[in-house]
Amino acid sequence: MLYMRSVRDDRTARAVIRDEALRLFAQHGPDAVSVRQIAAAAGVSAALVVHHFGSKEALREVVDRHVLETFDAMLAEMTGQGPEMYDPAATGSLVEAVQRHLPPDSPMPAYLRRMLLTDSAAGRELFAKLFTLSRGMLAALSEAGMATPGQDPAVRAALLMANDLAVLLLRDQLTEALGVDPLSREGMARWSAEMLAIYATGLLPPAQEQGGQP
């Protein structure tokens, strides 16, 4: 019997297999997960996984594309057009978009970490899109008088992007250190408040706190 999944799940068998592969890949890494494990998690046979995707590598490519398409939708919301056309009045940072669009238990942030830290075509593609978005964001904010491009706009854009990605890539460690998930509503409020304060005034104390020197 090839198909054993519960009829209460209204997703197609293909979608369930893809989603369970995403979850397992995010938890353990693609190399550590077998077709049989994916099939068991999806409630189907290994033969059905092969029938739909041909191989685990092909399934991984489908998972990569699914994650890229999901983040493309988030980036489109943030820009209104393409990544280079950031709208400063739009929806804020990538982390805020993740918080709005994905449930708290979504495996996508963890999978994103693996994509970006391994030498995969999908990871390089996503990184390039995020960097383009960051450069467009800085240019738009500078044009609107809300930021300055700095002496090296490319590096400044990279720093802004790295700050956003740190929340996703170091989520588990930040949760342990801060006692709150940075992608939760409370964690995002705390993180955003400090981030905006640093962007607005920097890390140095006011002049009067430095002995009154101008």
Per-residue confidence (pLDDT) for residue 151, from 0 to 100: 93
Indicate whether 87 belongs to any domain.
yes
Q: Are residues 49 and 154 in the same domain?
A: no
- Are 151 and 90 within one domain? yes
Mean pLDDT of 22-48: 95
- Would you state the pLDDT for residue 97? 78
Any idea which of 22-31, 40-49, 67-76, 152-161 has the lowest mean pLDDT? 67-76
Please check the confidence at residue 93 and state whether its pLDDT lies above 50.
yes
Q: What is the CATH number of the domain that holds 45?
A: 1.10.10.60
CA distance 110 to 43: 23
- Global confidence as pTM: 0.77
Are 72 and 177 contained in the same domain?
Answer: yes
pLDDT band at 2; cut points 50, 70, 90: very low
Same domain, 103 and 144: yes
Please state, in angstroms and rounded to a whole number, the distance separating the CA atoms of residues 86 and 80.
Answer: 7
Please indicate, yes or no, whether residues 30 and 125 belong to a single structural domain of this protein.
no
Residue 97 placed within a domain: yes
Q: Provide long-range contacts, Cβ within 8 A and 24+ apart, for 111-117.
A: 111/22, 111/25, 111/26, 111/63, 111/67, 112/67, 112/71, 112/168, 112/169, 113/168, 113/169, 113/171, 114/25, 114/26, 114/29, 114/30, 115/64, 115/67, 116/165, 116/169, 117/169
**How do residues 104-145 score in pLDDT, each as one tens digit?**
889 998 998 899 888 888 999 989 988 988 888 888 888 888
**Structural domain contains residue 37:** yes
In a domain, 132, yes or no: yes
| 168 pLDDT more than 60 | yes
Domain assignment present for residue 207? The answer is no
Note whether 104 and 159 are same-domain residues: yes
pLDDT at 120: 86
Same domain, 47 and 110: no
One domain for residues 35 and 106:
no
Q: What is the pLDDT of residues 48-77, one digit of tens each?
A: 999 999 999 999 999 999 999 988 888 777
Q: Please, which pLDDT band fits residue 9 given cuts at 50, 70 and 90?
A: low
pLDDT at 87 over 70: no
Nearest-angstrom CA–CA distance, 110 and 22: 10
Domain count for the chain, please give it: 2
Domain that holds residue 22: 7-54
User: Which of 26-40, 132-146, 171-185 tops mean pLDDT?
Assistant: 26-40
The helix (H) or strand (E) run that includes residue 142 is helix 121-143
Q: Which residue has the tokens 């893809």?
A: 18
Q: Please give the mean pLDDT across all residues of the chain.
A: 83
Residue 166 included in any domain: yes
Q: Count of H helices and E strands in the chain? A: 10, 0
Percent of the chain with pLDDT over 90: 40
| Average pLDDT, integer, range 189-212 | 74
pLDDT at 212: 53
170 located within any domain: yes
Looking at the fold, whether 150 and 175 belong to one and the same domain comes out as: yes
25 and 75 belong to one structural domain? no
Same domain, 17 and 47: yes
164 within a domain of the structure (yes/no): yes
Neighbours of 113 (CB within 10 A): 18
Q: Which residues contact 73 (CB under 8 A, 6 or more apart)?
A: 101
The answer to whether residues 49 and 77 belong to one domain is: no
Question: Is pLDDT of 4 > 70?
Answer: no
